[in-house]
Amino acid sequence: MRLIVNGKTHEVDVEDEMPLLWVLRDVLGVTGPKYGCGIAMCGACTVHVGGEPVRSCSLPVGDVKADVITIEGLGTPAALHAVQKAWVAHQAAQCGYCQSGQIMSAAALLSANDNPSDDDIDQAMSGNLCRCGTYPRIRAAIRAAARELKGRPT
Amino acid sequence: MSRVGTIARRTFLIGTAVIAGGVAFGVYAYKREPINPLLKDLGDGQAALTPYVRIDQSGVTIITPRADLGQGVASILAALVAEELDIAWNDIRVDFGSPSAAYYNGIAAAEGLPVPATDSSFKARTTRVVGDAVSKFLGLQITGGSSSVPDAYEKMRIAGAAAREVLLQAAARRTGIPKHQLKTRDGNVITPRGEVLSYASLAAEAAKIEPPQKVRLKPAADWRYLGKPMQRIDIVAKSTGTATFGIDIRMPGMVYATVRANPAIGGGIKGYDASAAAKARGVIAVVPITGGVGVIADNTWRAFKAAELIKCDWGAAPYPPSSAAMFEVVASSFTGERQDSRLKDEGDVEAALQDAGVIEAEYKVPYLAHAPLEPMNAVVQLKDGRLDIWTATQIPLFVVATAAEVSGLAPDNVHLHSLMSGGSFGRRLEDDYVRQAVEIAKAYPGHPIKMTWTREEDMTHDFPRPLGMARMRGAVRDGKVEAYDLKVACPSVTASQIGRLHMPTFGPDIAIVAGAWDQPFRIPHYRVTGYRVPELVPVSSWRSVGASANGFLHNGFLDELIHEAGVDPLKELIRLCWHEPSRKVLEAVGEMSKWGSDVGKDRGRGIAFTLSFGVPVAEVVEVSNTPQGIRIDKVFVAADVGRVLDPTNFENQVQGAVIWGLGHAVNCELTFKDGVAEQTNFHAYEGLRLNQAPTIEVRAIDNGSPIRGIGEPPVPPAAPALANAIFAATGKRIRELPLNKHIDFV
Ligand code: FES
Ligand code: FES
């Protein structure tokens, strides 16, 4: 089957029910999205499919009908996305394992809503678990990224 | 030969020299330090000036020999060296180093000694020196006990200063300019005429110079990095998905594996039927491992699916099958025969508790899993008589010994490549996952194999924080706490954990009463007794270890007594506290939280204090009692770690530790049925999520105390401060964790 990941087209020969996460990680070598639970409870595997945030551990690859963007496609160390810049500035990460997923959820939120309320942030982010407890910094980073995306002074 | 035998033999010669030398005289003598492990693999033109600094043509690498589990230790340790060595922040490169006794941890062992951190007597200091010597002897290169910073604070700055000194000498020899006229800046030696000699260009000459025995360290006032917010060296990688965890390693020809071991821990496997699994797509092999089965496939998901197809005939757990049965064992352990310690016994508790009006209570805490977000994994390759292991571990020397034992190779042929880990919280103080990976490699040699556990495997094979119970009695008089008798019963973490490392333990297990017996309070009649429950489920160190439970037990009942006395909790804690730095921390949290001001309708404030790992921490939690349940609004934290080396990371660690403490207190427990943990994934073990996380205000208090680590000490006061706040808001006293068994949360 054909899969477009971060703008690149791939032909993969796998079972339809294989979760997108494992196709990305083990077949295509895209390891930014992480495995944390496999049951859509932690959000570490969050990627965008057709611009929507999805838990790739629970999405069979056969059901992927749109382009996939992973953290690697959002920005790079040399060209950070606004959300990533805010994550660096606020030193959000501790172990960092959840952060690919956190950033993808936050980026999806901000592309749909550039002025999120605290409730909006709660809604968008409550599916992403952080065992290290970096939530206060994540919230601050999202607010900063929203200001930057709106071009307001930070 | 047993593992310990191997380790002891390998380090003995080094160890005795060290104990005879540096420690006794308090002099940091380089020549007597354990052999510098960097010297053995140096290439041409490379210099390893101390065990912590390697310089070659491409620049300086700092060895940070502690596991970075998210606590940011690599950055802080690198900063200690960089500060003295004088290199630019952006040029810092770090390497976790190879396992070596040279990287012993002199502080971690001291934490298990029966000397309270507040005791600075000669005897206490001597006992701690012995702890350091023992640790050197065993070469315990361990990461734990919030010890990395106190252990490294001097030795890594000295390493940086010594390396700089050698580079200056090399430059002096080359240029003929006297050393005192040379300066350094950002990785270069600068001559008076402004010539610039990079450290890299001086490496070959520097290698021939003996490092000085004594160096002068910069005064703190001259620091460029330390004491100021630093950018973590891994922050860009961790914000772009480019950080490489063990689970992300990829190699040509790599195959993928997973395991299923008996979830009734230690029950073993009587047999299995893998006929369906063997036929599944992508499966390469099904191999037996100790107490279970390993599956090798062409990707992780196929290995997971195939493992589910195996029919296993498990043996029964060697412990009582249910949580209820286990708590019965705990409840029946408050006996003279099971008494393990009575390290605090002041006044006459029995006499003071004769009268009517004695207050009594019983408290309970559950097993808790570490559940770091990255499940256990390791990449292994056994090829041509050499074993390579890529994984994250807090005990590298033990991992090498285990791998050598399992593979039958000499330890010198085992190469451990240490990686950062996606959390640990103590989980990677165990090496069970490495043992399994090596067993799989033995069955399938010649290929790199990545073994990854499912979350379910991880949750059901944790070495949890032990369950425990406490029985308390107390009395108040004239508005004061007069007597406090605390009895704690739980299994011994130390015996369980150290036993698995094949090392003996002796004397009482301080972990049973840590965070209770050693609190800086003066109560006229005050006694803390520990009871050792026989081992049930194998248990291990969980962030803040014994204090994680005792913080709740000790503070919970103390708050009850204070309420009974009818006085203000903060005022009474301050009155009872004899330790100046602890009192200042209590005063600070009172000021931060505006303690005593009106908190509003249906709201409550609770306070708790624990001194653990030498760090006094006071926390105030504010909650609202809403129609949907309790909402945790705000937390105030004051802590004294002496000097804060990185204020940003300090705040991040405190906030994380508070959320850790609160999250587990609110809704986490590991319960057992038929000997198997019932919580198999994050649907049943959630902790706090972002929408439930309070704002957390943090203040560091520097009373000139010795420098300490902050990864663990904010954990113990979080649960009791929350429970006390719930009591203040609702009048409901909860004596059992998790709290959501008794009250709803938003
Ligand atoms: S791994 Fe997908 S939500 Fe946890
Ligand atoms: S930073 Fe470790 S799990 Fe979030």
Q: What is the pLDDT of residue B114?
A: 58
Q: B56 pLDDT band (50/70/90 cuts)?
A: confident
Per-residue pLDDT of B516-569, as tens digits, reads: 999 999 999 999 999 999 999 999 999 999 999 999 999 999 999 999 999 999
Q: Considering only the beta carbons, identify the residue of B236, B245, B301 that sits closest to A22.
A: B301
Other Cβ atoms within 10 Å of A154 Cβ, number: 10
Residues of B in contact with A20 (CB under 8 A): none
Which residue, chain included where needed, has tokens 């037990």?
Answer: B553
Residue B25, domain member (yes or no)? no
Cα dihedral: B431, B434, B440, B444 (round 10)? -150
Asked if A36 lies within 8 A of B649 by C-beta distance, the reply is no
Same domain, B508 and B613: yes
Tell me if B70 CB under 6 Å of ligand 2. Answer: yes
Q: B40 pLDDT band (50/70/90 cuts)?
A: low
Q: Is A44 in contact with A36 (CB distance < 8 Å)?
A: yes
Same domain, B548 and B626: yes
Asked if A96 lies within 8 A of B653 by C-beta distance, the reply is no
Give CA–CA dist B648/B233, Å, rounded: 13
Mean pLDDT for the stretch of residues B229-254: 96
Quote the domain boundaries for residue B635: 323-368+463-741
Give CA–CA dist B369/B687, Å, rounded: 11
Asked if A135 lies within 8 A of B693 by C-beta distance, the reply is yes
| Residue, of B111 and B141, whose pLDDT is higher | B141
Tell which of B429, B452, B475 closes a domain: B452
Q: Which residue type occupies B254?
A: M
Same domain, B696 and B621: yes
The mean of the pLDDT values for chain A is 96
To the nearest whole angstrom, how far is the Cα of A94 from the nearest Cα of chain B?
A: 4
Per-residue pLDDT of B648-677, as tens digits, reads: 999 999 999 999 999 999 999 999 999 999
Residue B684, domain member (yes or no)? yes
**Residue of chain A with shortest Cα separation from B69:** A95
Same domain, B330 and B313: no
Peptide bond just before B738 cis, omega within 30 deg: yes
Tell which of B215, B239, B263 closes a domain: B239
Q: Is B372 in contact with B421 (CB distance < 8 Å)?
A: yes
Mean pLDDT for the stretch of residues A23-27: 98
Mean pLDDT for the stretch of residues B156-163: 90
Q: B126 pLDDT band (50/70/90 cuts)?
A: very low
Same domain, B235 and B186: yes
To the nearest whole angstrom, how far is the Cα of B578 from the nearest Cα of chain A?
A: 33
Residue B584, domain member (yes or no)? yes
Per-residue pLDDT of B616-637, as tens digits, reads: 999 999 999 999 999 999 999 9
DSSP codes, B612-644: ETTEEEEEEEEEEEETTEEEEEEEEEEE--SS-
Q: B139 pLDDT band (50/70/90 cuts)?
A: low
Q: B209 pLDDT band (50/70/90 cuts)?
A: confident
Residue B720 reports pLDDT greater than 60: yes
End-to-end CA distance of chain A: 45
Which residue, chain included where needed, has tokens 């000085």?
Answer: B212
Q: Considering the entire predicted model, what is its pTM?
A: 0.92
Same domain, B597 and B552: yes
Residue B70 reports pLDDT greater than 70: yes
Give CA–CA dist B601/B59, Å, rounded: 62
Number of A:B CB contacts under 8 A?
189
**For B102-111, B401-410, B430-439, B662-671, which range has the lowest pLDDT when averaged over its residues?**
B102-111
Give CA–CA dist B722/B715, Å, rounded: 12
To the nearest whole angstrom, how far is the Cα of A71 from the nearest Cα of chain B?
A: 6
Q: What is the pLDDT of residue B107?
A: 65
Structure tokens at B725: 């706040």
Q: B60 pLDDT band (50/70/90 cuts)?
A: confident
Q: A33 pLDDT band (50/70/90 cuts)?
A: very high
Mean pLDDT for the stretch of residues B57-80: 87
User: From the candidates B143, B233, B239, B244, which should be mutated to test the interface with A, based on the most A CB atoms within 10 A?
Assistant: B239
SS3 B695: strand
Structure tokens at A36: 């944390």
Same domain, B524 and B578: yes
String of b and e for A4-36 (b: at least 16 CB within 10 Å)?
Answer: ebbeeeeeeebeeebbbbbbbbbbbebbbbbbb
What's the 3-state SS for chain A?
CEEEECCEEEECCCCCCCEHHHHHHHHCCCCCCCCCCCCCCCCCCEEEECCEEEEHHHCEHHHCCCCEECHHHHCECCECCHHHHHHHHCCCCCCCCCHHHHHHHHHHHHHHCCCCCHHHHHHHHCCCCCCCCCHHHHHHHHHHHHHHHCCCCC
Residue B100, domain member (yes or no)? yes
Ligand nearest to the CA of A133: 2
Per-residue pLDDT of A71-111, as tens digits, reads: 999 999 999 999 999 999 999 999 999 999 999 999 999 99
Mean pLDDT for the stretch of residues A6-11: 98
Distance A41 CA to ligand 1 centre (A): 6
Residue B86 reports pLDDT greater than 70: yes
Q: What is the pLDDT of residue B461?
A: 98
Ligand nearest to the CA of A98: 2
Residue B117, domain member (yes or no)? no
Tell which of B203, B219, B239 closes a domain: B239
Give CA–CA dist B279/B295, Å, rounded: 12
Mean pLDDT for the stretch of residues B432-450: 98
Residue B10, domain member (yes or no)? no
Q: B121 pLDDT band (50/70/90 cuts)?
A: low
Other Cβ atoms within 10 Å of B474 Cβ, number: 27
Mean pLDDT for the stretch of residues B258-270: 98
Q: Which of A18, A55, A104, A126 to mutate to test the pocket of ligand 1 (most atoms within 8 A of CB)?
A: A55
Same domain, B338 and B436: no
Q: Considering only the beta carbons, identify the residue of A72, A84, A136 that sits closest to B655.
A: A136
Q: Hey, what domains does chain A have and what are their CATH numbers? A: 2-72 (3.10.20.30), 74-149 (1.10.150.120)
Residues of A in contact with B281 (CB under 8 A): 15
Same domain, B337 and B294: no
Q: Is A124 in contact with B639 (CB distance < 8 Å)?
A: no
Q: What is the pLDDT of residue B151?
A: 85
DSSP state of B367: B
Q: B116 pLDDT band (50/70/90 cuts)?
A: low
| Residue, of B203 and B504, whose pLDDT is higher | B203
Q: What is the pLDDT of residue B111?
A: 55
**Residue of chain A with shortest Cα separation from B648:** A91
**Residue of chain B with shortest Cα separation from A80:** B240
Same domain, B441 and B343: no
Q: What is the pLDDT of residue B133?
A: 44
Radius of gyration for the alpha carbons in chain B, expressed in angstroms and rounded: 27
Q: Which residue type occupies A71?
A: I
Same domain, B423 and B564: no
Mean pLDDT for the stretch of residues B605-615: 97
Residue B47 reports pLDDT greater than 90: no
Strand boundaries in B23-136, DSSP class E? 47-50, 53-56, 59-63, 93-95
Residue B522, domain member (yes or no)? yes
Residue B33 reports pLDDT greater than 90: no
Give CA–CA dist A144/A110, Å, rounded: 11
Question: Any idea what the CATH number is for the domain that residue B282 is in?
Answer: 3.30.365.10
Give CA–CA dist B715/B712, Å, rounded: 6
Structure tokens at A14: 């796998």
Distance B172 CA to ligand 2 centre (A): 48
Count of structural domains within chain B: 3
Residue B611, domain member (yes or no)? yes
Per-residue pLDDT of B366-416, as tens digits, reads: 999 999 999 999 999 999 999 999 999 999 888 999 999 999 999 999 999
Mean pLDDT for the stretch of residues B72-101: 88
Same domain, B227 and B299: no
Share of chain B above pLDDT 90, in %: 75
Give CA–CA dist B259/B301, Å, rounded: 12
